[in-house]
Amino acid sequence: MEEVIATQRDSLDALLAEIALGPSGPGVGAFFDFDGTLIDGFSAFVFLQHRLMNREMDATEIARTVMMAVRGVSTEEEFAELLTLPLGGWKGRPEEELDALGEELFREGIASNLFPESWELVAAHLTQGHTVAISSSATRFQIAPLARELGVSHILCTEVEIEDGLITGRTAGRIPYGAGKADVVTSFAAANNLDLASSYAYSNGAEDVAFLATVQHPHVINPDSELDRVASLRGWPVHRFARRSRPGLQDALRTVGAYGGMLSGLGTGAVLGLLNWNKRQGLDLSFGLAGDLGLAMSGVELNVEGGEHLWSQRPAVFVFNHQSSLVDALVIFKLLRGNFSGVAKKEAAAMPLFGLFFQFADIVFVERGDPTKAKEAMAPAVDKLREGVSLAIAPEGTRSFTPRLGAFKKGAFHIAMQAGVPIVPIVIRNSGSVMARGSKTLRPGRVDIVVHPPISVEGWTVENLNENIAAVRGVFLDTLGQSDREPAQPAPPTKPAASNGAKTRKSAARRRPKSTEETAR
């Protein structure tokens, strides 16, 4: 399994290097299929499941859907016929209602099926200044939430006809399926002065052969059997990403083992600490054992850079980005080992077994949504730091749905200022790829971690706090290869071949924060 993962990673790294060394600028296009390419599986199934659960489909529509799914789709006409079913169910509903439904279903189901590898590819093209577009036969309601997360402002999709703010149940313009997708992409390229001879396209299905053939650099992602055959004949590169939506028995056993290892470590350390009448010693042993045993059972490998900064100056406030509750916890336990405490949402105190340990470990519980109570709850954390106990906290406040770094809350930085201790950034990459928010099971993989030098809070004031927080967040963004652009706001095109998405905001210049070592000099 490890060899397969390494091969997949090598293939992706080679492609990322090719993009980085290739031509830059908006004249180069990068076109991504949606279902099966950016996400594992089909977003339509998530919408269909929602309609079934809410009894929005009658027996006739269910039967027709099943029959058409069994028969399969091979032409634009057949795909248009298939679309009449969900569009008919949306008839008469306000456009805003479908926008809101798309956001809800993205958070609840689609986001966890994102291929992290595809995220990296989109980011690589955006870094090169390429014109990136999602090209799909899906509707804007399915695509737009992920497009915003990715920072993609161009969507070439099946447009839904809207009159007086209400959906008519009909499509508007040509459906980007089969030859239709190739034509839409070609028209878009002409309208936006793109050089298709320097451009890229990505897809997983045989229906997209014509679409892939429009560019000089076609890439095939997890192909079906027919596209795999065509790619072999034409010499198109094939990349295989770890499937997201199909956990197996080994994944379930691995997850149980990880939780079991963590609980065993926490419990063993706590008991020994009580027996020795030394709570701190017990906690230190608990955290170290929990990280070691949990990760050993998880199949997750850590690749740590800058590990010496974990110990160069303590106490400190260790801040980390947060995507996976289980994996991130194991990582922090493994890295920090002991002599630290943490911050958790108030609901965590009620978790079976874990809640009891968190209370025993003097974890600071914060009531989200109430800034006054949150500030009051942070006071014991300042006291702990002054006593020599470090603090680990995720400044985003909650797990993100995708790899995009969220906004930082101020709590961790206020605490560091009050206690006069440095900030140590721990940048975690790939934890969401082994267990994303919403996932129930772990997958094997490698988590890359960069620990940056301690950042002094000397000279920080309430007046310049926002600037300093932005500088620390900039360290995370740079390490993750992300920009601080606002999420793109895709807008429906006025014509099927055009896209009028809002432009993303240019990255603001960031002041690099000084490390403690530099401040001393």
* CB atoms inside a 10 Å sphere around CB 467: 12
- CATH code reported for the domain at 300-482: 3.40.1130.10
More confident position, 356 or 232: 232
The Cα-based distances of 91 to 54, 87, 443, 491 in angstroms read 16, 6, 40, 21
The C-alpha angle 156, 159, 161, rounded to 5 degrees, equals 160
Does the pLDDT of residue 155 top 60, yes or no? yes
> What is the reported pLDDT for 449?
94
Kindly report whether the peptide bond that precedes residue 315 is cis, defined as omega within 30 degrees of 0.
Answer: yes
Give the gyration radius of the chain's Cα atoms.
25
φ, ψ (nearest 5 deg) of residue 426: -115, 110
What is the rounded distance in angstroms from the CA atom of residue 78 to the CA atom of residue 230? 22
Which residue would you say has higher pLDDT here, 75 or 104?
A: 104
Is residue 507 predicted with pLDDT exceeding 50?
Answer: no
Residue 315: alpha-carbon gap to chain centroid: 31
Q: Return d(Cα 294, Cα 288) in angstroms, integer.
A: 10
Residue 494: its pLDDT value, please? Answer: 37
CB 53 within 8 A of CB 109: no
pLDDT at 383 over 70: yes
pLDDT on residue 516: 39
* Strand, coil or helix: 328: helix
pLDDT confidence band for 12 (50 / 70 / 90): confident
Q: At residue 225, does pLDDT exceed 90?
A: yes
- b or e along 66-93 (b: 16 or more beta carbons within 10 Å of the residue's beta carbon)? eebeeeebeebeebbebbebbbebbeee
Instruction: For residue 463, name the pLDDT band (cuts at 50, 70, 90).
Output: very high
Q: Are 204 and 224 in contact (CB under 8 A)?
A: yes
Residue 477 has pLDDT above 80, yes or no: yes
Task: Write down the pLDDT at residue 39.
Answer: 92
- Lowest-pLDDT choice from 242-246, 264-268, 324-328, 384-388: 242-246
Q: Give the N- to C-terminal CA distance of the chain in Å, as an integer.
A: 48
The predicted pLDDT at position 425 comes to 97
Angstrom distance (rounded) from CA 207 to CA 205? 5
Where do the domains of the chain lie? 2-239, 300-482
Token digits for 76? Answer: 């634009």
Hunting for tokens 């900030």 — which residue is that? 423
C-alpha 56/C-alpha 92 separation (Å) is 14
Percentage of the chain exceeding pLDDT 70: 75
* Residue with the larger pLDDT of the pair 126 and 50: 126
Is the pLDDT at 498 greater than 50, yes or no? Answer: no
Please state the rounded mean pLDDT for residues 405-420: 90
Neighbours of 7 (CB within 10 A): 11
Q: Is the pLDDT assigned to residue 510 strictly greater than 60? A: no
CA torsion angle for 240, 245, 248, 254 (degrees, to 10)? 90
Instruction: Flag whether pLDDT at 130 surpasses 80.
Output: yes
From the number of C-beta atoms within 10 Å of its C-beta (0-12, 13-18, 19+), residue 166 rates as middle
| Res 255: pLDDT | 81
Identify the burial level of 168 via C-beta atoms within 10 angstroms of its C-beta, where 0-12 means exposed, 13-18 middle and 19 or more buried: middle
Contact 392, 332 (CB under 8 A): yes
Q: What is the CATH number of domain 2-239?
A: 3.40.50.1000
Q: Which residues contact 280 (CB under 8 A, 6 or more apart)?
A: 273, 339
pLDDT(273) > 80: no
pLDDT higher than 60, residue 490:
no
CA distance 282 to 275: 9
Which residues, in sequence order, are CB contacts of 274 under 8 Å at separation 6+?
Answer: 282
Span 111-136, mean pLDDT? Answer: 92
Tokens linked to 47 = 């919408």
Sorting pLDDT into bands at 50, 70 and 90, what band is 260?
confident
pLDDT at residue 422 tops 60? yes
pLDDT at site 451: 96
Per-residue pLDDT for 300 more than 80? Answer: yes
- Total-model pTM: 0.70
Tell me how far apart the alpha carbons of residues 440 and 255 are, in angstroms, rounded to a whole number: 8
The pLDDT of residue 411 is 86
**What pLDDT score was predicted for residue 1?**
46
Please give the pLDDT value at position 73: 62
